[in-house]
Structure 1
Amino acid sequence: MTPTRIPILMLAVLLFLGCNKESPNATMGSEKLIIRVAGIVDEGPENISLKAASSTRSNSSLDLSNSVINRDLKEVTLQLSSVEEHTNQALSDQWNKQTEEAAATNLVGTPLLASAPKNLLAQTSPNIITMADDISYRLMLYTKDGDDLRFQQSLDLKSGTSTSIDIVKGQQYQWYAYSYNTTDNFPALTNTSNPVLASTFDKELLYDADSFNLQNEGNYQLLIRFRQQLARTGLRINSKGIFGNIIDVKANHITEIPLVASNFNLMEGRFTDIVSQHTVSAGDALTLQVNPTNAEIMEAYYYSSTPATLPTSFQVSITDLTARYEDNSTEILIGENGKNTAPQQLTFGGFSPAVGRSSLGNINLIHGGINLGGVIWARGNLNYENEEYKLRPNGLFTYFVSVDENSNNFLRRFGSTDYWFWLAERPNVVRSNWRLNKVDACARVFPAGTWRMPSNTDFAILTNRTTNRATDFRTRTPNSANSMYAEFYARGLSPDDPRTEKLVFKADGRYDEPSSSLSYETYALFWSSTENTSLLAFGGSIAYYFRVYNSAADVTTLLTSLNSRRYNVRCVRRTT
């Protein structure tokens, strides 16, 4: 080897060693990034205020006191409330500050979530709402070198499914994720160097972002915790309280709702400029749709990137409302040929719109009772099925397989759903001490606290007719054996007039626990919540019950063991 070739060879070796020392691949290995959605960050959601317009006031008048207003109609009650549900409460301070700063331009920005929110969220321990499966979301991944970001890939993914991709250990990454909380596919996003997307008036915008650096060997778990980025307002109707579903509803706006859509910069984590503006005008129809996870709820929502434009109150008119009940029967509750023909004009207000907050007019449809002497009675008996407390649609509900109503034809499954031990949590729950652990099961009917068990005082309106002169009644036996029922109605009205509302108690007897059979089929037997406080009265019995037989109605004390008797329960509306 010549002297000239030796230095050249040594130089080549040194250059090779130097390059190998500086190469990232010498210290970095390929690992997996595991991506999945943890859910949507939410602080409850909790109802921070319940405000409603009084049904006795004009449509232009607002009652902004914290209250729930019941508007009693024929066959149904509209329970009205103005509800504000907060989301992303952990970031409310930052949002409020940026809202004030952006007021001059009518734009609202949210802070870039890579800066600190994950620590903030961890400190405040927010609730995470599970995102439904198969919801579309997009994740954009960048490598990060100081302030320089280099696009790597964009992934269109689905919630409920984990996805893994290769990453390099020791490399700094930045990611951004967004979703409209729908199952729709995403349009192409052509600008990856500075991605921007426009909000819409009819969809949510969920967002999360962060950076990471996998220092050790293994996989990195990327959990996406989406946050709401828009303010929302709308109307929600819940039919759970009538134990059926809405099959037709028509509602129109009486007042305007201004909306704003803006461009959202993914890298900055904020809205930058207005794209379009739209006003929902008076007379426009609300497009109420069935909630995808709860068929008892119909809802219509509007979204705005600028909460300041949303109204603090709004008015709607419901002109048609038809329900289908669990027995598959249908009823027009509001409408030209319905139980209530007049349109219902409703006002909701007292809102403070904000990003991540839903300002909603909430309507609970409640089983319509019958008012007799100031007490509103449920039309049908209390029952418990599938861990839910409900009311039968009317007092003539049959527990039998034929019109010849007797114990041989009794459907025994109703023994565990409609025949109750006294003040029991569930129909067949026995207590060792009947004076303890009493439960008012009526109070658990949705909406909770709306109904209660009747007392002797309530039954007195039906039994002391000569004294109070508020009600009258008659018994009827339209079919064959043991099908007697009693009709109570307001004194002075004709029971044969179809306009007269009648409270019906049917003779369905009692369920005898020892024999697991029905007996006393000619009696209507219903529990009272009143307790006999005299230990010596009637051999120590403490429970009262209401009974109708032949042409008599009275309240009496149970003379035998409470362990052996299960009666029906009829609820009354709570007034306080």
Structure 2
Amino acid sequence: MKLFKSTYQSIAFILLSFIVLSSCKKESENQAKVEKTAVIIKISGADTQVETNNKKSLSMQDQNQFTVFNFDADHRVLATLSSQKGEDMKVNPRALSQNPKAATAIRTPLFSGTSYYIAVYKTSGEYVLHQQYIYAPGQDPKIDLSPGTYTFISVASGTNTLPNINFNQPLSQVDFSVSDASTDVMYFKQDMTVQVGVQNNLDVVLRHLFTQVVLTINTAQIGDVVSIGAASISPNLSSATISMQDGSLSYPSTAAVAAKSFTFTNTTGQSIVSNPIYIFPSNTTTGSVTIANFQIGTIAKPLTFSNLTLTDGIKYNLDFRLLAVGINIGYEVWSAGNLIYDTNQGRYGFTLSDNDYGNYWFYNHLLPKKLDGTNQGPDALINGGPGDPCAKVLPEGTWRLPSENDVDQLLTHTGPNGVDNPHNVNTWDPARFVDYFDGAGSGTNLGMFFGTQNNPGVRRHDYLYFVYAGAYHNENTQGPTIGHEGNYLLTGTSGGYREFHMTGASGDIGYGASIGQADEFSAYQIRCVKN
């Protein structure tokens, strides 16, 4: 009887132990399930950094890099290297420590099919996991993680050439090498706390790490490019090392330095734009661009732009504009376009074509009228102090406002018996002709040619042409003169200011050209004359 009782107690104990152990196991399994929660990966696109200057005292002219040099006796080159504008600050920490500029960013969508890594580390730097994904719009992969705070890192490539990375080590020790900037490596890092019971979205905005450059050549003011030789930019190092800790770039001492070539979709015409290229410039301040055997008309020579500051990870536009030095008529050299002021770059210059409207200027003010409704009349706070804005065109002091005498001389020399009248239609009319710049029906602007009795056709850029941009006569909205009359500012023979006024319809001989008194509250176009 005792034996039976003892056996019964043993069985009961075993069963109870089994139940307790099973319960603990289930509780442990349930607890493990609860402790894992999903992190949803959402790719928002890729940013390209652009430079802005932290020093507010510096003008936009200081931020952009430019130079003006002669191409030949009749033409000059304006070369500008500028960072593209954008929003949302994304900073390359090492680049900024070496270059006193901040960076903002231009965001673009990631291409469908782009491969990318997601790596997860504890905030202490301890490795947790990594996965490779292929991006498709609307498809958001998930990672299961226990609650806690993690460091998330993503790496992608614009050419789908993902680098080889040994993720499985402390984050501070992870770096990788890239031997070609064209792979366009992108990077993202963010700390995030993963919580149970909420939707954990990781918004990934990748950042292009390498410098991108686009080269543009514009010759609209002087004609078509005949041919262009090899174009390249330097320096471009052969390799770079990227830190996973912060996405910063460093360069091995063994990296070779060379130039990188641009490729073009077209090599003739008036606008030539390269394909974007990526380079490793190593935050240089001695960058250089060379275009070999650049030919326009019968003139062929190289173009060079040196001593450029090129910052890692920034997107640049490199622009070469060929401009006519001026148009020689009436014993004066007139600017090849109307006067403009670039508020972004803080620089004075001329329109690229005679057909284009310039800014509107009140007399004896250095800055143009604002056309936003806040600048009806002249205001020193808006339009600057007294002076001649033509004199501000680089090189400063080269140009000036035309005088009343200059226009009198122009009208005389293009008159029926003038020395600048070719009499190419008849012997009795002046050499002044009203027409649309590219001819009737072309959609270009109306104005008056000087030095010809008809529309000169393909040689239109060789002639002085005053576009009928009109004027703002104490008004904030466009009045009846704009598009129908020419109103240009002059200095007066006896002091003060005068107006050169032109009228006429398409096809008219240019008899409607006269000089009158300028009005203090009117804003005019300006066509400068060379000193």
User: Taking structure 2 as the reference length, what is the TM-score of the superposition?
Assistant: 0.59
Tell me the distance in 1 between the aligned counterparts of 2:274 and 2:18: 76
Partner of 1:215: 195
Tell me the distance in 1 between the aligned counterparts of 2:151 and 2:472: 67
Which of 215, 237, 246 in structure 2 is aligned with 1:236? 215
| Uncovered stretches (5+) of structure 1, i.e. residues with no partner | 53-64, 100-123, 321-334, 383-388, 398-416, 441-447, 490-494
Tell me the distance in 2 between the aligned counterparts of 1:507 and 1:125: 43
The secondary structure found in structure 2 opposite 1:317 is strand
The secondary structure found in structure 2 opposite 1:462 is helix
**CA 1:364/1:94 → structure 2, altered by over 3 Å: closer, same or farther?**
closer
Tell me the distance in 1 between the aligned counterparts of 2:15 and 2:26: 17
AA matched with 2:13: P
Shift of residue 3, structure 1, vs aligned partner: 0.4
The secondary structure found in structure 2 opposite 1:556 is strand
**CA 1:271/1:318 → structure 2, altered by over 3 Å: closer, same or farther?**
closer
Tell me the distance in 1 between the aligned counterparts of 2:54 and 2:35: 50
Tell me the distance in 1 between the aligned counterparts of 2:107 and 2:235: 30
1:91 correspondence with 2:38: no
Tell me the distance in 2 between the aligned counterparts of 1:29 and 1:4: 39
Tell me the distance in 2 between the aligned counterparts of 1:2 and 1:249: 102
AA matched with 1:204: D
Partner of 1:526: 487
**CA 1:202/1:71 → structure 2, altered by over 3 Å: closer, same or farther?**
farther
1:44 correspondence with 2:44: no
**CA 1:73/1:555 → structure 2, altered by over 3 Å: closer, same or farther?**
farther
Deviations 1:158-197 (A, max 9, x none): 6x767252534516655321233x3x44469696647856
Partner of 1:303: 279
**CA 1:92/1:519 → structure 2, altered by over 3 Å: closer, same or farther?**
closer
AA matched with 2:274: M
Partner of 1:364: 320
**CA 1:84/1:520 → structure 2, altered by over 3 Å: closer, same or farther?**
closer
Tell me the distance in 2 between the aligned counterparts of 1:509 and 1:235: 36
**CA 1:367/1:339 → structure 2, altered by over 3 Å: closer, same or farther?**
same
Mapping of residues 5-20 of structure 1, within 5 Å: 5-20=11-26
Partner of 1:457: 402
Q: Quick check: 1:463–1:553 contact (8 Å CA) kept in 2?
A: no
Shift of residue 345, structure 1, vs aligned partner: 3.6
**CA 1:545/1:127 → structure 2, altered by over 3 Å: closer, same or farther?**
same
AA matched with 1:71: N
Partner of 2:299: 341
Tell me the distance in 2 between the aligned counterparts of 1:381 and 1:551: 25
The secondary structure found in structure 1 opposite 2:500 is strand
1:474 correspondence with 2:418: no
Tell me the distance in 2 between the aligned counterparts of 1:550 and 1:354: 53
Deviations 1:125-151 (A, max 9, x none): 963431345373513244759765343
Q: Quick check: 1:262–1:276 contact (8 Å CA) kept in 2?
A: no
Partner of 1:127: 104
Deviations 1:254-273 (A, max 9, x none): x9746221464647957799
**CA 1:317/1:161 → structure 2, altered by over 3 Å: closer, same or farther?**
same
Partner of 2:77: 78
Which of 492, 511, 516 in structure 2 is aligned with 1:556? 516
**CA 1:221/1:473 → structure 2, altered by over 3 Å: closer, same or farther?**
farther
Shift of residue 205, structure 1, vs aligned partner: 2.5
**CA 1:380/1:161 → structure 2, altered by over 3 Å: closer, same or farther?**
farther
Q: Quick check: 2:116–2:162 contact (8 Å CA) kept in 1?
A: no
The secondary structure found in structure 1 opposite 2:515 is strand
Partner of 2:117: 139
Which of 22, 29, 33 in structure 1 is aligned with 2:40? 33
**CA 1:167/1:460 → structure 2, altered by over 3 Å: closer, same or farther?**
farther
Mapping of residues 334-483 of structure 1, within 5 Å: 335=295, 338-339=296-297, 341-349=299-307, 351=309, 355-356=312-313, 362-365=318-321, 367-368=323-324, 370-372=326-328, 376-379=334-337, 391=351, 393-394=353-354, 425=370, 434-435=377-378, 457-458=402-403, 460-464=405-409, 473-474=420-421, 478=425, 483=433
Partner of 1:259: 237
**CA 1:19/1:193 → structure 2, altered by over 3 Å: closer, same or farther?**
same
Shift of residue 73, structure 1, vs aligned partner: 4.8
Tell me the distance in 2 between the aligned counterparts of 1:365 and 1:167: 55
Q: Which moved more, 1:340-349 or 1:167-176?
A: 167-176
User: Taking structure 1 as the reference length, what is the TM-score of the superposition?
Assistant: 0.55
Tell me the distance in 2 between the aligned counterparts of 1:145 and 1:435: 60
Tell me the distance in 1 between the aligned counterparts of 2:10 and 2:339: 108
Tell me the distance in 1 between the aligned counterparts of 2:482 and 2:221: 30
1:177 correspondence with 2:154: yes
Partner of 2:292: 318
AA matched with 2:319: I
The number of residue pairs the alignment matches comes to 447
Q: Quick check: 2:238–2:255 contact (8 Å CA) kept in 1?
A: yes
AA matched with 1:312: T
Q: Quick check: 1:244–1:296 contact (8 Å CA) kept in 2?
A: no
Q: Quick check: 2:487–2:501 contact (8 Å CA) kept in 1?
A: yes
**CA 1:209/1:202 → structure 2, altered by over 3 Å: closer, same or farther?**
same
**CA 1:156/1:374 → structure 2, altered by over 3 Å: closer, same or farther?**
farther
Tell me the distance in 1 between the aligned counterparts of 2:481 and 2:247: 67
Deviations 1:374-419 (A, max 9, x none): 754235899xxxxxx9958446x9xxxxxxxxxxxxxxxxxxx899
Percent sequence identity over aligned pairs: 9
Q: Quick check: 2:401–2:527 contact (8 Å CA) kept in 1?
A: no
AA matched with 2:94: S
1:206 correspondence with 2:186: yes
The secondary structure found in structure 1 opposite 2:17 is helix
Which of 487, 504, 524 in structure 1 is aligned with 2:450? 487
Q: Quick check: 2:262–2:274 contact (8 Å CA) kept in 1?
A: no
| Uncovered stretches (5+) of structure 2, i.e. residues with no partner | 1-6, 341-348, 363-367, 385-391, 435-447, 504-508
